[in-house]
Amino acid sequence: MSEWAIVDKTWSYWLGWAWTISSLVLTTWIVMQRRAPVSTLAWIITLNLLPVIGLAVYAYFGPQRVKRQRLKRWHKRAALMSQEDLKTLLKDRPEPPLWATQHSELIERSCGLQLASCEEVTLLPSGGATLDTLLKEIAAARKHIHLEYYIFEPDTTGLAVLNALVDKAKEGVRVRLLVDAIGSPVLCSRKGQRFLADYLDAGGKFSVFHPRKLDLLRPLVNLRTHRKIAIIDGRVGLLGGINITDEENERVRPKEAYRDTHLLLRGGAVRWLQYLFLQDWGYAGGGQVTDEDMLPDYAPGPVPVQIVASGPDNDSEAIHRAMIDAIHMARERIWLATPYFVPTESALMALTNAALRGVSVKLMVPEKSDSRVVTAAARSYFEELQNAGALVFEYTGRMFHAKTLLIDQHYGMVGSANFDNRSFRLNFEVAAVVFSGTFNEQLAAMFERDLSECKRVHANRRSPAPQRLFEAVARLASPLL
């Protein structure tokens, strides 16, 4: 045997042992996290079949959790409020509709946010309408402005908001802006500091959620704040799917802007949005907020609204549970709009069960999302839905980005969460559940308008064999998406 053959055999021997040991260690590590079996198996297969590439993918995109000690500090800081403030926060507690009593209790127990009320709930059906509303409310601010966004771009839309914030900061209004490091890379970069100079000079406060430098080897890709929240004077709140970017503003990009939905609230429920913002602000290093006017008093409003929040700091998966429970409650209709449809097994089962028992189930998704893999994974579920009796529609033209759910005649949900594993389990999300027949009608009317821009996916549609294979493979990766 030649010298090179001996060296080659030695390397193969040691590489084999290294692969075996690393495989055992990583497999044990993943199993001990006690996650969903399907997700666990998917990661084990990925890491073992692709030992180098799989490890890199896991390091950046694998399931992660905020450390317990960090969470303890977070919640300790997030108390933030005096006992008097907490009493104010908790005292607006209307009775939910009889049919929603247990659903409301489920939400409260899973995320700690109780039912409140609003005097006004307004649906904002586009980025342009949302920007106009936000700028109007910012201009009317007298005490404080709090903004938290996944994407905040310093483009035409972003600069309009920043300039409005600068004006208010100069007037003495306390302004705080929190953005996500991954979603808003330009604003968080050195280059982006020039866009913030006037804002900071005017006294505005700025903080970054999970900055990239937090962990260079494992930059917390999954633990993002995907929330889009604005609170003005503690009295007006906005939330939904619309970020601050030209990509979602049809006034700037009339043909390409995303079709999206947002919500404006006035009343007691806004205090729970304030509570969430203060949690995230304190956790992101913005410091403790000791202002005395964070939670103004309200007279009870006529519309019951419950804020739902979820994130990887809590295993309760409140938005996931709320959606599935609402689907189980349905007796007449379930109309779901989402840009990314990669359901968990329990969510898919809930939808197909509803369709099988005669509920009108309609799903609206984009014909082409901004991810080919997610689009393919979504299509792999269509046949099961259609076989159960559900109708599937694809929104053509612009990217469809709305995240809404309406149930029967008196239930509506609008928020930041997609109908997928990442929103249910890996990112920080927020939604508002509105128990109102009037709001339900408005949501239904918007859904039906969107249907005019859709084409129905027929059950007998047959894609080419390579496309079907791609969809099947994408579905295998769905627990990782």
Whether pLDDT at 42 is above 80: no
* pLDDT for res 457: 94
One-letter amino acid at 226 equals H
Whether pLDDT at 86 is above 70: no
* pLDDT for res 98: 94
Alpha-carbon torsion 437, 438, 439, 444, what sign?
A: positive
pTM of the predicted protein model = 0.85
pLDDT bracket for residue 366 (50, 70, 90): very high
* Helix axis angle, 465-476 to 372-379, nearest 10°: 100
Name which residue leads in pLDDT, 75 or 311. Answer: 311
SS3 320: helix
**What integer is the mean pLDDT of 451-462?**
87
39-48, 224-233, 333-342, 396-405: lowest mean pLDDT where? 39-48
* pLDDT for res 68: 43
* pLDDT for res 341: 95
| Average pLDDT of the chain to the nearest whole number | 85
pLDDT bracket for residue 77 (50, 70, 90): very low
Q: Cα-flanking dihedrals φ and ψ of residue 87, to 5°?
A: -65, -40
pLDDT bracket for residue 218 (50, 70, 90): very low
pLDDT digit string (tens) for 262-319? 999 999 999 999 999 998 998 888 887 878 788 887 888 999 999 999 988 888 899 9
Residue with tokens 């821009």: 453
Q: Give the number of C-alpha atoms closer than 13 A to the C-alpha of residue 176, restricted to the C-beta side.
A: 28
* Percent over 70 (pLDDT), the chain: 77
C-alpha span between 342 and 255 (Å, rounded): 27
Residue with tokens 């979504």: 378
Query: Hey, what are 71's tokens?
Result: 């969470």
SS3 73: helix
Whether pLDDT at 210 is above 50: yes
* pLDDT for res 293: 81
pLDDT bracket for residue 11 (50, 70, 90): low
CB contact at 8 A, 170 and 202: yes
* pLDDT for res 460: 74
**What integer is the mean pLDDT of 117-125?**
96
* pLDDT for res 214: 47
**What integer is the mean pLDDT of 194-199?**
95
* pLDDT for res 72: 42
pLDDT bracket for residue 19 (50, 70, 90): low
Name which residue leads in pLDDT, 292 or 462. Answer: 292
**What integer is the mean pLDDT of 21-28?**
70
C-alpha span between 211 and 230 (Å, rounded): 21
79-93, 254-268, 338-352: lowest mean pLDDT where? 79-93
Q: Cα-flanking dihedrals φ and ψ of residue 419, to 5°?
A: -90, 65
Whether pLDDT at 455 is above 70: yes
* pLDDT for res 49: 64
C-alpha span between 300 and 320 (Å, rounded): 28
* pLDDT for res 321: 98
CB contact at 8 A, 26 and 52: no
CATH code for the part of the protein at 318-480: 3.30.870.10
* pLDDT for res 9: 60
* pLDDT for res 73: 41
* pLDDT for res 76: 44
Fold of 68-94+119-301: Endonuclease; Chain A (3.30.870)
Whether pLDDT at 88 is above 90: no
CB contact at 8 A, 129 and 240: no
Whether pLDDT at 14 is above 60: yes
Whether pLDDT at 332 is above 70: yes
pLDDT bracket for residue 31 (50, 70, 90): low
> What does DSSP assign to residue 171?
T
Q: Which residues contact 419 (CB under 8 A, 6 or more apart)?
A: 323, 336, 338, 340, 341, 342, 343, 347, 403
Query: Which of the residues are catalytic?
Result: 226, 228, 233, 401, 403, 408
pLDDT bracket for residue 217 (50, 70, 90): very low
Query: Hey, what are 339's tokens?
Result: 């840009």
- Indicate the Cα dihedral angle 141, 144, 150, 151, nearest 10°: 50
Whether pLDDT at 395 is above 90: yes
C-alpha span between 243 and 139 (Å, rounded): 19
**What integer is the mean pLDDT of 50-64?**
56
* pLDDT for res 30: 67
* pLDDT for res 90: 73
**What integer is the mean pLDDT of 211-219?**
55
Most confident residue range from 168-177, 185-194, 286-295, 469-478: 168-177
